[in-house]
Structures are given as C-alpha cells and as structure tokens.
A and B are shown apart, each in its own frame.
Chain A
C-alpha cells in the first residue's frame, strides 16, 4: 500500500469551467479517505484525476513520493470500482475477476490463485461460474471489488459504489467494505454523496462544495465541530436546524424564543454582542423539558426515537429527535431545551469558536 499526496490540484475544463479549486490532501498509508459532497461538487472529478482518467490542470499528484501527475492511468497502479460495476456481461465472474491480469499476461496459475483468494475474501467462491446477470446488485459490486483486489494495487478508488443498491443491501455492502479495509489495510479513496456512508466508513472525511474543500477531518470532527454552515448542514441526518438569532445581554434572542448561554459560550460570542449570528442545533441535541416551545406539525416514529417537526416560536422551522416513542398530534406543544449549540458568522458562514480552537 502507499501514501498519496494531492498538492494544489485544480481542474479546469476546456470551456474554462473550473470543477476543482486548490485541492490539498495527504493520504496516509492504509487510510480510508471519503470525499463527500452534493452532486457537482467536484468529488468524482478529483477521484478521476487521481485515477488518471482526467488530466490535472494545475498541481501535483504524488504516489509514495513519486510524481505521477502526468502518468497514464495504466501506469498508476490504482484500481477503481465504479458505481455501475462495469462488469463484462458475456464473461463469468471468474473471467471478469481474472481479466485485468490476463491482459497483463500473468501466469494463469498465479491468476487462478489470486482470483480464488479474492473470491474467498468476498464470499464469491460459489458464484465464480455464473454470469453477472445471475447475481444480485450487492454481489455484482463485490465482483467489481474482487476485480480490484486481484490486482493488488497501491491505492483503491471507489466512485459511489453503493449508489445503485437498495437501502438494506447498501448497509450490508458498506459493512463488507469496512471489513475489507480492515483486512487488507489498503489505502482507499472513496467518493460518495451519502453522509451516512462517509461517517461510518471514513478514517477521515473530505467535505467538498462547489469544487472547494470545506473541511478535512475525522467523522467526529466534522459532526461535532463543523467548520462552516455548509459542513454543519451537510453532515448529520436529519440536517442541523439553523436559526438567525441576536446576541443580546448574554443570551440569544430568536423570533419568538430566547436561549440562555453558559459563561464559556458568552466568551466565545463576546465579539458578536448586539449582532446577528446563525445558531445551529442538531435534532439529536434537542431534549424534552425547558422554556422553548415547539408547536408540532408532524410526528415520525423511528422506533427508539421520534422525529418531531414543527415551529419554534413564530416562524422557525425545527426538527427535534426525541428519545422514545411519542405520538404528538398537529398543534401539540412540546417544551424543549438545547443540549448543544453551534454558532456561525452569517457573513463568512464560518463557525464561531474560541480563539485557538
């Protein structure tokens, strides 16, 4: 396996549209990095540049310290797994997995051993004589992974590999990818638009928007300390509630509600006295009891939690994830308080934090 360094990488297409701006990332040996962001944010373009399927307009790409910016895809020793599997329909699973090695004219006996080993890892041993059309979506994706594994590449690249699967299969295949990573200790670059995948799989997440990297960090860092409004609203399901509030006299005043602050929070917001800020509260950081009232519009029971949608104060839409099974009706009032809050500067959209944090 290997380290990967992306240094000041830009992607500018021929029509002068810039898809990626100054992308910097150091991927450690054996690390699983997830690039996450909405459609069109440049994450797949970045992956394709790493794979050699797109030219890098500016910047450098280093694999184990060696500059491979201009190297053709075939010489990069990376294996890519695509969303649509890209399997050959007329070949059996065995032939699909062996194909890249056959093209490299490797010894058939060596190919056989590699394919069987990969099939064993992916639990595909009994499927080797079947055609891709005879397999389920999850099995096909495992074949695509097997085809990557047999090559024993330095870096694995996954481009939204679970997007074609239904929810149940996605969750199962996600666990398989995680086990595979633990077993192979491979360096993996994984692209997804699904933040659940990002949070569950990644050693570190790169959150992107409009071609810019918004934040790089561990899943907990992105969830707990988002750098800006975009990351705060993108990471987490249901998304974070955002309110425009005013910091006055040591408390936050919103439309129809007031939130008291701790001394530490007051010191964080000291520079924003008498100014508007954006208050972010995750639905799971809202608990029953307190002086704020949610007027319920809908109630979704998830089993051990209940999602309560409604209005806080006059016109603030809010979603709260309350523990237990609740059966609120339209118009019910629920008293709540916030257990954790995030503050953002409305102009820069950056998080407001204590200096040095």
Chain B
C-alpha cells in the first residue's frame, strides 16, 4: 500500500464521511424540488388530492430517514447504507405513482401533468435516487476499508 493511500485510510479514523453525508443531503434537496414542482399543476381532482396527501406523509418520513442516514453515514455506519438503498429504490418507484398517473390522467382534453413538468419531476426523483445510491455505495466502501485498516492497526499493536 502506498504511503498516500495509507494516510488517506488513516485519516478516516478521525474525519467524518462528509461525501456520503452531503450526497444524502443533496438527495433531500432533489426530493424537495420534486415535491414543490408537482404542485404546479392547478387541476384539482379527487384522485389527485388523495395521492398528494399520502405523498406529503411519505415526504415527512423520507426527510427524516434521509437526514438521519446522512448523519449515520458520517460515522461510517454500514447499516445506513441499506437505509439509503431502500430510500433510493422507493424514489425510483415514486416515478410510477404521482408523475406517471398525473401524466396519464386526462381532464378537459389535457393531461393533469404536462410533458415538461413530467420530465422535470422524473429528473428530480432520479437525481435524488442516484445521490442516495452513490451515498450508500461510497459509505459502504469507505466503511469496509476503514474497518480493515483499523483491524490491521490492532493486529500490528498486538
């Protein structure tokens, strides 16, 4: 192992995993952008109102879970990588709920969600999911590397 690589690993013993943490925060930002942008449609329907209500509740859960994970990955905790992966999968699944349904629903000869808005919301959800996956993968790799580095230090001590 080169000296630089060793120092990078050793540094992780005392520094936070800010890359993963910031990616998780960025995922929250994209989620917020998504959530704000779906309100732009002013077509009011019974169907739309119910899904929005569920979406609001899920968003609260998402914000809390993603924020907790962003703090968890700071300390190289691998459990939070799984939480981030699950949140990422749900973000992808959400594409097929509000944006897709709203785009398909036609009221007064026009879709509830237009093409531009549809693409924009998909981009936000995908971006959010990519950030969550990247955060999870980076955290996983770093945590494993740190764990084996600490183990080797302890073996040296012994």
Which positions in A face B, CB cutoff 8 Å?
92, 94-95, 108-109, 112-113, 115-116, 128-129
Contacts and interface: CB of A to CB of B under 8 A. Distances in A.
Contact of B7 (A94, A109, A129): A109
6 contacts: A94-B15, A112-B7, A112-B10, A112-B11, A115-B14, A129-B14
A115 B15 CA distance: 12
Q: Mostly helix, strand, loop or mixed at chain A's interface? A: helix
Q: Mostly helix, strand, loop or mixed at chain B's interface? A: helix
Contacts of A108: 11, 15
A124 to B, nearest CB: 11
B8 interface: yes
B4 interface: yes
A341 B154 CA distance: 63
Contacts of B15: 94-95, 108
Contacts of B13: 128-129
A237 B14 CA distance: 45
B8 A94 contact: no
A11 to B, nearest CB: 41
A128 to B, nearest CB: 5
A95 B15 CA distance: 8
Interface of B: 4, 7-8, 10-11, 13-15
B156 to A, nearest CB: 14
A193 B7 CA distance: 43
A114 to B, nearest CB: 11
A108 B11 CA distance: 8
A134 to B, nearest CB: 15
A109 B7 CA distance: 6
Nearest to B10: A112
Nearest to A94: B14
A95 B13 CA distance: 12
B4 A109 contact: yes
Which of A108, A109, A116 is the most central at the interface, judged by chain B CB atoms within 10 Å of its CB? A109
Contacts of B10: 112, 116
B8 A109 contact: yes
B7 A128 contact: no
B21 to A, nearest CB: 15
Which of A95, A112, A113, A116 is the most central at the interface, judged by chain B CB atoms within 10 Å of its CB? A112
Contacts of B11: 108-109, 112
B14 A113 contact: no
A116 to B, nearest CB: 8
Given A95-B14, A108-B11, A115-B14, 5 more contacts: A94-B14, A109-B4, A112-B7, A112-B14, A129-B14
B8 A128 contact: no
Contacts of A115: 14
B153 to A, nearest CB: 12
Contacts of A128: 13-14
Contacts of A109: 4, 7-8, 11
Contacts of A116: 10
Nearest to B5: A109
Contacts of B8: 109
A129 B8 CA distance: 17
A62 to B, nearest CB: 38
A134 B17 CA distance: 22
